[in-house]
Chains A and B, each alone.
Chain A
């Protein structure tokens, strides 16, 4: 095996490896959506976030517009403070409502944004006022049981 053949093969090998890495980052992982592009952060308080995790998607009308970057507990209001990182291409009115929703019956939880009608747009660092907590199954069941019991009492 002479020198130039070795060089050729090593060149082919390194090129293939780099193409594989490129394939992994572009086609498998979505480099396009991993934009270091402009984004702004807003916060929202929730009474209960259920199973919401950091890096959960934020969707509006079903389209992913950002990601949850931080979840922490506020020890003064006893509420969860969720930081939302939203792509700057998407602007929302000030009275936008944030809900914690579940994709599918048992799927992961995400934040759904519903745009309001306010003419002023939300800015970096603002706080969403209208929020709706995650649905906790136990609460739902106990509510249902309580209502049933009430009905039974009324009909007597």
Chain B
């Protein structure tokens, strides 16, 4: 009897703790949005963070995009040529990149490359009491430190996802047309006929904006919420990557279900 009671108490405790944390994170998010005026008034702060979150992620995004596209080209060709429709390679590569892989893989890379850096930086600022020092000087650390990083992430993420998709399509073109010898005219024209601006490209951009918001929100919150110890910062960095990646996958499923079933269910 006691054991059951103990388990139930633990379960309840775990649920309440998570819910409380979610509530704190939501209030933090609202406060952040409310105080992000500085991030735009002193836009230089945000530009600096775009450099750290976006520009420094370029290499990994471009290289992964190229290779994902090349692998899609090889694998797609292998399957499609069995059905004698290797000209549809462009459609396969473009649709899978623009709709899914571009936003999702770019988001996962962004979470591990830029999200972890944001968390570690803010966490360390807190551990070395730079945040408290700002508060002493009557500078709002959320407006001065957190908001520019948040907006930089939100700005960078769609651009990175677009670069990933474009690079991937280029990789698919390299392998499909240059290496294997699919007809370039069919490759591009079938792609253009099948990819719809609003349905595919726009939805991909919307997805990447949503992922950008989610990942950077998690990153800045984990950093700001981290216990001010070395262990705390390392734990927060890990949580950013894990929670951020899981959030991307869950959100992707929900967004896909919303965006791409409406037309077909008719």
Residues of A within 8 A of B (CB): 1, 3, 6-7, 9-10, 12-14, 16-21, 23-25, 27-31, 33-34, 53-55, 64, 71
Contacts and interface: CB of A to CB of B under 8 A. Distances in A.
A3 B45 CA distance: 11
Given A16-B58, A28-B192, A29-B200, 17 more contacts: A1-B51, A3-B44, A9-B51, A13-B51, A13-B159, A19-B166, A21-B205, A24-B201, A25-B201, A27-B192, A28-B98, A28-B166, A28-B191, A28-B195, A29-B195, A29-B201, A34-B198
13 contacts: A13-B51, A17-B160, A17-B163, A20-B159, A20-B162, A20-B163, A24-B98, A24-B169, A24-B204, A25-B201, A28-B165, A30-B192, A31-B197
A27 B188 contact: yes
Nearest to A64: B193
Contacts of A1: 51
B182 to A, nearest CB: 16
B7 interface: no
A50 to B, nearest CB: 15
A1 B197 CA distance: 39
Contact of A18 (B48, B50, B159, B198): B159
B94 interface: yes
Give me the 4 closest cross-chain CB pairs, A-B, nearest first: A17-B159, A20-B166, A30-B192, A20-B162
A1 B204 CA distance: 34
Given A34-B198, A53-B264, A28 B94 contact: yes
B174 interface: no
A120 to B, nearest CB: 32
A20 B192 contact: no
A28 B197 CA distance: 9
Contacts of A14: 50, 159
A14 B200 CA distance: 22
Contact of A16 (B98, B163, B196): B163
A24 B69 CA distance: 14
Nearest to B166: A20
Contacts of B73: none
Residue from A27, A28, A30 having most chain B Cβ neighbours under 10 A = A28
B165 A20 contact: yes
A55 B263 CA distance: 9
A7 B159 contact: no
Contacts of B55: 9-10, 12-13
Given A6-B48, A6-B51, A29 B166 contact: no
Contacts of B109: none
A71 B264 CA distance: 12
A18 B162 CA distance: 8
B47 A7 contact: yes
A30 B51 CA distance: 32
A34 B197 contact: yes
Contacts of A29: 98, 192, 195-197, 200-201
